């Protein structure tokens, strides 16, 4: 009898640990009831159990450490860059249009010719031979599409931007050896496909299927079941979940302002979406392109696939009317 009691206690402890590990991490209980316009999701499917994505209820940024000690690295000389003056979006500075250096470890100056660097142009570092890059923005900065794309020697990158910094589409795409990325939290915009085709992104997807960088969902292609976007996210990037046929429902928190074009395009199993009242844009009719069985709940009203344009116009006009 004594042995059986001990065994019972051990089994009970193991069961309690298992329940805590499955239910406490991602706030699923809080998220379930908002996916179908107030109807409890646990009652809507005839009692069938749905697989849910392993996402936290509130997003917290990870602290990434640089691969190198950049404090010991000198800035690259000015003669390593071809640049010219330009005014972009009201800011005056210089645009780097060509890299003339020998590659390797490169610390890009924040000023050239006594003017702030405000843009790194397309394909500047694509075949440059650089292995590690550091750049700290002093003023408004655009890192243009494909600026570092297909730089197969690139291993690590550190970008310290500000609220005027944008990293545009495919900026580091197909950098086949890029494994370390450190971005400052102040960077304003991270566009679509910035890190497509890099080991860094693939490693992130294996760590967690929902990849978030600076409050932006940049990849959800491995997510499954009921996807609950954590609170604190402000944007879902273009093509974030493109052609993911394993997502069945989507719950978007109040913090999200924008769902970009094709973010959930061709997610053919996606049938239920709950959008926050204050969302600014849902990517037009293309945000959920091809998801013909979808029903989107917004402000207590359900919209079908055929009504996406109506809903998009409503959301956009409400946003415009809210502006001062």
β partners of residue 212: 217
**Model pLDDT, residue 25:** 35
Strands, DSSP E only, in 44-145?
81-88, 91-99, 104-108, 111-112, 115-120, 130-136, 141-143
Q: Which CATH number fits domain 49-59+209-324: 3.30.470, 3.80.10, 3.90.550, 3.30.450?
A: 3.80.10
Q: Which CATH class is domain 68-178?
A: alpha beta
The stretches in the chain having pLDDT less than 70 are 1-57, 59-61
**Model pLDDT, residue 59:** 64
Structural contact between residues 56 and 26, judged by C-beta atoms closer than 8 angstroms: yes
Question: Residue 132 has what DSSP assignment?
Answer: E
Question: Which pTM was predicted?
Answer: 0.79
pLDDT digits (tens, 9 = 90+) for 82-104: 999 988 877 889 999 999 999 99
CATH 3.80.10.10 domain residues, the chain: 68-178
**Cβ-proximal residues to 46 (8 Å cutoff; 6+ apart), any chain:** none
Q: In what helix (H) or strand (E) does residue 212 lie, and over which residues does it extend?
A: strand 211-213
Tokens of residue 321, six digits: 């009317």
Tokens of residue 43, six digits: 């009652």
**Cβ-proximal residues to 266 (8 Å cutoff; 6+ apart), any chain:** 242, 243, 245, 289, 290, 291
Distance CA 188, CA 165 (A): 5
Q: From 192, 196, 215, 194, select the one nearest 205 (Cα to Cα).
A: 196
Taken as a whole, the chain contains a residue count of 324
**Cβ-proximal residues to 21 (8 Å cutoff; 6+ apart), any chain:** none
Q: From 112, 88, 115, select the one nearest 98 (Cα to Cα).
A: 112
Question: Residue 176 has what DSSP assignment?
Answer: T
**Model pLDDT, residue 60:** 67
Q: In what helix (H) or strand (E) does residue 5 lie, and over which residues does it extend?
A: helix 2-23
**Model pLDDT, residue 267:** 96
Question: Residue 315 has what DSSP assignment?
Answer: H
């Amino acid at each position: 009898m004594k042995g059986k009691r001990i065994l019972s206690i051990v089994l009970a402890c193991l069961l309690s640990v298992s329940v805590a590990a499955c239910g406490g991490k991602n706030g699923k209980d809080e998220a379930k009831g908002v996916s179908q316009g107030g109807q409890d999701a646990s009652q809507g499917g005839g009692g069938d159990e749905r697989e849910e994505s392993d996402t936290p209820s509130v997003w917290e940024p990870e602290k990434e450490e640089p691969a190198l000690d950049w404090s010991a690295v000198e800035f690259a000389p000015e003669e390593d860059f071809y640049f010219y003056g330009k005014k972009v979006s009201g800011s005056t500075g210089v645009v780097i249009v060509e890299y003339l250096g020998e590659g390797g470890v490169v610390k890009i100056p924040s000023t050239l010719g006594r003017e702030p660097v405000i843009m790194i142009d397309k394909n500047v570092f694509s075949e440059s031979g650089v292995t590690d890059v550091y750049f700290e923005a002093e003023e408004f900065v655009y890192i243009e599409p494909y600026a570092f794309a297909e730089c197969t020697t690139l291993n690590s990158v550190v970008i310290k931007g500000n609220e005027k910094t944008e990293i545009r589409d495919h900026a580091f795409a197909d950098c086949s050896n890029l494994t370390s990325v450190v971005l400052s939290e102040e960077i304003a915009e991270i566009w679509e496909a910035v890190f497509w085709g890099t080991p860094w992104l693939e490693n992130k997807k294996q760590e967690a299927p929902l990849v978030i960088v600076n409050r932006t969902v940049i990849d959800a292609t491995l997510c499954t079941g009921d996807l609950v976007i954590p609170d604190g996210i402000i944007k879902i990037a273009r093509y974030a979940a493109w052609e993911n046929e394993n997502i069945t429902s989507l719950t978007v928190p109040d913090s999200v302002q924008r769902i970009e074009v094709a973010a959930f395009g061709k997610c053919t199993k996606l049938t239920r979406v709950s959008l926050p009242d204050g969302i600014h844009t849902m990517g037009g009719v293309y945000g959920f392109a091809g998801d013909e069985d979808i029903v989107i709940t917004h402000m207590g009203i359900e919209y079908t696939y055929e009504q996406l344009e109506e809903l998009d116009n409503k959301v956009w006009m409400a946003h415009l009317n809210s502006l001062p």
